[in-house]
Amino acid sequence: EAEATSLKRIHPEGLFELKIPPRPELKPYRLKISYKNGNEHIRFDPYYFSTQLTEYDQFLFAEGNHHRFYHKLGAHPVEIDGVPGTLFAVWAPNAKRVSIVGDFNYWDGRKHPMQILGDSGIWELFIPEVAAGMLYKYEIKTGQNEILLKSDPVAFTAEQRPSTASVVTELNGFRWQDQKWLEERENRDPLRQPINVYEVHLGSWQRVPEEDNRSLTYPELADRLIPYAVEMGYTHLELMPVAEHPLDGSWGYQVTGYFAPTSRFGTPHEFMEFVDRCHTSGLGVILDWVPGHFPKDSHGLAGFDGTALYEHEDPLQGEHKEWGTLIFNYERNEVRNFLISNALFWFDEYHIDGIRVDAVAAMLYLDYNRKEGQWVKNRHGGRENIGAIEFLKQLHETLFHYHPGILSIAEESTAWDGVSHPTYAGGLGFNLKWNMGWMNDTLRYIEKDPVHRKYDHHLITFSLMYAFTENFVLALSHDEVVHGKRSMLGKMPGDDWQNFAGLRMYLAFQMAHPGKQLTFMGTEFGQRDEWSENRSLDWHLTQFPDHQKLQEYVRTLNHFYLSKPTLFTNDFDWTGFQWIDHHDQDNSVLSFIRRSADEVSDPDLVFIFNFTPVPRD
């Protein structure tokens, strides 16, 4: 039995003292704590254990170059000196005190105050016998003596909404089966590969009406969504944000848990299984990623230590009034480090194949959606957000260094030059960009009565004036089927027959046009209603002949695309395209040739489109 030594009370409020030998002679010891009510607790003393973050870790983080700092910050089940427990670390440089609170200490901030590491602003504590699955938060005493309860910015799991605690999580242990996929990805040029993306909102692709209309889980989605996408001939799934978010109505674009796949649909290992099964089935996985802004929820990043830590202090720089969200302070090394490490985390730990960065224009321009007097000029007197520009360049240099062959896709709605060009050529470093101009112009054209299309012929041809200035994705995304814009089928003019004929024509034109492909779920079978995050797609429509035929048509079109390298090996160069006739506006007829990068092996393809319901010779 272990030797017991009594501590000397040196203050009536409960301060005790014991002189212990120097650390080389000291072994982990337990404290036996007796309370007035007769209860006794025996536990290891967390303050016996030395700090684990090195001075080099702290230096790299402060410099903004600790690329995998998620290995150090957050909550990590580990064993130290033979004692199992969890190592906690959090960045809160302006806090007076930070404590860990949770089920294991009755949410009492007096029990586990953390130790600050020099002037790094990082607080750390190892708590023995705290295990995976336990709930926790950080209790932060601010400089104004206010007490805040914050979720862990680097938590790997969060409680299901509306609860907001973080969950101690062991990420290790999943047995991946996708090594062949990853090796092939690393050695190929994705821009010369077929990319036909099926954009999905996991919570509404299908639901279970018999069980209170709940969403599918990650395992159920793996069983249903993956085989469907493969059968339909898609190459990638693009998932609207899966990082934890409190509000369903944000569609995932207001993130509070950047390192946690949402617990709405299951566990981290179940999401790993979903990605793994995508890869072993031949599907890539792209995640929507939101480094442009974050919500003001009290448990999140906003005012994290009582100060503007992740955001700018000046609301003219730190707030999107229209969205009610805060803007990251890209000038701060630690904030850039947080975001870059987060992006790398999804590639490292979840084996994803790409990110689609939301609202890039809002990051690039200081006056985005702002009137005169509502924004602050940069140090050169301009409107460009220099910090965001440098962040995006650093992000891409880091990502492509560690993971060649991946995709980084920009949703960028302006004419910013070089969005999808490499940083060494002066670009932002993305390798693909959504073609918002093509989408807007062609939708305006296709929504017109065919009789009147000849007066706006330029709308269907203008995209070829700039089609090769960037590496474009032709995206028909979720944004085009909400807020009164109607479904893709509903945009088509005329009666029901004309609606289906128009959509078939438009999807074929999208496929033939230079650029990678993306369509939102439901488009492939003719969803009639606008999309809503609160309900399933109307899968019952596929029982009706017109919808069934459209679905079969899209499947055939997708597989035709996969079988024709001419359609994807030369998307971003004029040598891959030649007009035959783009002047026949009176008949609304277009014709052109697509050419492969390998003209010897892959034949040219000729396309002729008649955008009226009138037969032409």
Cis peptide before 162 (omega within 30 of 0): yes
What DSSP designation does 483 have?
T
Residues with a catalytic annotation lie at 358, 411
pLDDT at 428 over 90: yes
* Residue 59 CB contacts under 8 Å (≥ 6 apart), including other chains: none
Angstrom distance (rounded) from CA 592 to CA 576? 11
The C-alpha atoms of residue 119 and residue 90 are separated, in whole angstroms, by 13
Instruction: Report d(CA 295, CA 261) in Å as an integer.
Output: 17
**Residue 389: φ, ψ to 5°:** -60, -50
The strand pairing partners of 284, in sequence order, are 236
Q: Which band of pLDDT confidence, cut at 50, 70 and 90, is reported for residue 443?
A: very high
Assigned token pair, 67: 């690329």
Token pair, residue 121, equals 């602003």
Q: Please tell me what DSSP assigns to residue 401.
A: H
Q: Is the pLDDT of residue 512 over 80?
A: yes
Write the burial class of residue 36 (CB in 10 Å: 0-12 exposed, 13-18 middle, 19+ buried).
exposed
Q: How far is CA 120 from CA 47, 97, 610, in A?
A: 20, 14, 65
Quote the pTM value: 0.95
Domain extent listing, the chain: 48-167, 197-568
- Over range 366-386, report the average pLDDT: 93
pLDDT value of position 587: 96
Residues 91-95 have a mean pLDDT of: 98
Q: How far is CA 34 from CA 1, 31, 267, 349, 441, in A?
A: 19, 10, 38, 43, 75
Residue that the structure tokens 């003719």 belong to: 526
Place of tokens 């706006």: 456
Query: Residue 484 corresponds to which tokens in the numbers above?
Result: 């009164």
Q: Are 362 and 370 in contact (CB under 8 A)?
A: no
What pLDDT sits at residue 193? 97
The candidate with the shortest Cα–Cα distance to 413, out of 395, 437, 430, 431, is 437
User: Contact, 238 vs 135, CB < 8 A?
Assistant: no
The secondary element (H helix, E strand) that includes residue 55 is helix 55-63
Q: Which class is domain 197-568?
A: alpha beta
Length of the chain: 617
Which residues sit opposite 42 in a β-bridge? 32
pLDDT at site 77: 98
CA distance 441 to 463: 8
pLDDT (tens digit, 9 = 90+) per residue, 28-86? 888 888 888 888 888 999 999 999 999 999 999 999 999 999 999 999 999 999 999 99
Mean pLDDT of 454-458: 97
Per the listing, tokens 């996929």 go with 181
Domain at 48-167, CATH class: mainly beta
Residue 244 to residue 262: CA distance in whole angstroms = 4
The order of strands in the sheet holding 577-581 is: 577-581, 589-594, 605-610
* pLDDT (0 to 100) of residue 205: 98
- In 3-state terms, what secondary structure has residue 515? coil
**By mean pLDDT, which of 125-134, 155-164, 600-609 is the weakest?**
600-609
Position 1 scores a pLDDT of 53
pLDDT value at position 14?
79
Q: Tens of pLDDT along 178-204?
A: 999 999 999 999 999 999 999 999 999
Position 2 confidence tier, pLDDT thresholds 50, 70, 90 = low
Rounded Cα distance between 209 and 583, Å, is 52
Backbone angles phi and psi of 241, in degrees to 5: -45, 130
End-to-end Cα distance, the chain: 99
CA atoms of 580 and 577, how far apart (whole Å): 10
Enumerate residues 6+ apart whose C-beta is below 8 A from 494. Answer: 449, 450, 502, 613
> Which tokens go with 404?
């060649």
Q: Report the pLDDT value the prediction gives residue 600, as an integer from 0 to 100.
A: 74
Q: Please report, for residues 359, 527, 554, the alpha-carbon distance to residue 412 in angstroms, rounded to integers and kept in the order given.
A: 6, 27, 27
Q: Give the residue among 492, 484, 494 at the shortest CA–CA distance from 530.
A: 484
Give the ranges where 351-435 is alpha helix by DSSP (H): 360-364, 386-402
Residue 122: phi and psi, rounded to 5, are -95, 130
Residue that the structure tokens 């064993």 belong to: 79
93: helix, coil or strand? coil
How does residue 19 score in pLDDT terms, banded at 50, 70 and 90? confident
Q: Which residue spans within 6-65 are E strands per DSSP?
A: 8-11, 15-17, 30-34, 40-44
Q: Across residues 397-417, what is the average pLDDT? A: 97
Span 271-279, average pLDDT = 99
Q: Please, what is the average pLDDT of the chain? A: 95
Cβ atoms within 10 Å, residue 263:
19
Question: Do the beta carbons of residue 315 and residue 373 sit within 8 Å?
Answer: no
CA gap 353, 346 in Å, rounded: 9
